[in-house]
Amino acid sequence: TRPRAVVIGGGAGGATAARYIAKDSGGAIDVTLIEPSRSYYTCFFSNLYLGGFRSIDSLAHSYGKLAADNDINVVHDWATGIDRDARTVALAGGGSIPYDRLIIAPGIGFIDDAVPGWSVAAQNAMPHAYKGGSQTEILKARIAAMPEGGTFVMVAPPNPYRCPPGPYERVSMIAHYLREANPTAKIVVADPKEKFSKMALFQEGWNDLYPGMVDWIGSDFGGGNVEVRPDSMEVLIDGEVVKADACNVIPAMKAGQIAHAAALTEGNWAPVVPATMQSRMDENIHILGDAAAQGDMPKSGFAANSQAKVAAMAVRGALTGSRVFPAKFSNTCWSLIDTDNGVKVGASYIATDEKIASVDSFISQTGEAGDLRAATYRESLGWYDAITADMFG
């Protein structure tokens, strides 16, 4: 019988890992992917959907091609537990699946009571839109329904969280939409941080392109002292009541629940050995993407994809004796500020004993010419197509 690799989570990290293990082992490894959703909606480019640049359907990816082309057994179910001694994964629908190596890439969960007054029970009134699909559609509908001159409030998350520029690209895309649809509307951002990713670039864009629309309240000004009342659509920012016509609460995050259930976490995240992405708690388990505590990489789809290739190589090495090369990682996070106005930040990385360490980095500059910004945006369009093909086949 063939050695067995099982992957929990068919997102950016998990789909890539399953595909590369199956494809590069030429069928020598039996690969199972466990993922409850039939369609994966990317969070990447979901802000462009809010801005009116993409359809929701253009963000959806199904698993049929991945399964058929690579002979991967895709099981649409939730993993509910991991028996690390027996090396089996229990499924919500009953039964269990044995593994020789397990890869987990469950993404994020939200920390309970991180924003007083908010829980997932309130996610219809105040969507997080930080997991793909319906939540993003709800947020878009809430913004479209704002009265003329209404107020949109975002509660931004503390570090570390999924996609560091994500909330601020979202502000830009909502401003882009409102400038046309509701030009006297206001955007208030309550932020528990004093600075954020690509801050100078975003603030320049907000001032120049959406003047007077965005009020960013950082931690120095009480932005971290927030409570929400979903029933009355009120947000208390440092004791002051703001009436919201639409509200986006992005709570503090932690590794997806299954990582905690399997005792693979230390605090909120799951620590890994950088060279192989193996859990520091269990050498038979590799942890990828947002759930991992790995060092310098941001929690991004690009990073999860990059880590998945390193883990896939390590899994093949362990199960078939194939050659394992030194780990290298890369990441770029693009953001769209306005039509044809893209910016980016990125780096390449190596594995040290202690962490995934950044070796060089780059970032767009303020004051860049329009054609450079347009070229950066086009680059991001090419990236989306290439990386989703790399994940889902």
Q: Which residues make up the interface to ligand FAD (CB under 6 A)?
A: 8-14, 34-37, 40, 43-44, 46-47, 78-79, 105-107, 130, 162-163, 166, 170, 256, 258, 289-291, 299-302, 304, 333-334
Query: Given the complex with ligand FAD, which of 40 and 210 has the nearer CB atom?
Result: 40
**3 state DSSP class of 290:** helix
Q: What is the side-by-side strand order in the sheet with 328-338?
A: 328-338, 341-351, 356-363
**Cα separation, 101 vs 5, whole angstroms:** 5
Query: Given the complex with ligand FAD, which of 70 and 172 has the nearer CB atom?
Result: 172
Query: Given the complex with ligand FAD, which of 14 and 192 has the nearer CB atom?
Result: 14
Supply the minimum distance, in Å, between the C-beta of residue 239 and ligand FAD: 29
Supply the minimum distance, in Å, between the C-beta of residue 332 and ligand FAD: 8
Supply the minimum distance, in Å, between the C-beta of residue 232 and ligand FAD: 27
Supply the minimum distance, in Å, between the C-beta of residue 323 and ligand FAD: 26
Token readout for 354 is 């202690």
Instruction: Quote the longest CA-to-CA distance of the chain.
Output: 66
| DSSP E strands, 186-267 | 186-190, 214-217, 226-229, 234-237, 240-243, 246-249, 253-255
Q: What DSSP state is assigned to residue 192?
A: S
Residue number, nearest CB to ligand FAD? 11
Query: Given the complex with ligand FAD, which of 167 and 229 has the nearer CB atom?
Result: 167
Q: What DSSP state is assigned to residue 44?
A: T
- 207: part of which helix (H) or strand (E)? helix 199-209
Sequence-distant (6+) residues with CB within 8 A of 108 are 130, 131, 161, 162, 253, 254, 255, 256, 290, 291, 299
Query: Given the complex with ligand FAD, which of 34 and 229 has the nearer CB atom?
Result: 34
Supply the minimum distance, in Å, between the C-beta of residue 305 and ligand FAD: 8
Query: Given the complex with ligand FAD, which of 192 and 342 has the nearer CB atom?
Result: 342
Supply the minimum distance, in Å, between the C-beta of residue 42 and ligand FAD: 6
**Cα separation, 5 vs 18, whole angstroms:** 8
Supply the minimum distance, in Å, between the C-beta of residue 342 and ligand FAD: 10
Residue 246, CA atoms < 13 Å, CB-side half-sphere: 24
Supply the minimum distance, in Å, between the C-beta of residue 293 and ligand FAD: 12
Sequence-distant (6+) residues with CB within 8 A of 72 are 18, 19, 22, 31, 32, 33, 66
Supply the minimum distance, in Å, between the C-beta of residue 161 and ligand FAD: 9
**Cα separation, 214 vs 187, whole angstroms:** 5
Query: Given the complex with ligand FAD, which of 97 and 229 has the nearer CB atom?
Result: 97
Query: Given the complex with ligand FAD, which of 284 and 322 has the nearer CB atom?
Result: 284
Residue 341's DSSP bridge partners are 338
Neighbouring C-beta atoms of residue 141, cutoff 10 Å:
11
Query: Given the complex with ligand FAD, which of 175 and 229 has the nearer CB atom?
Result: 175
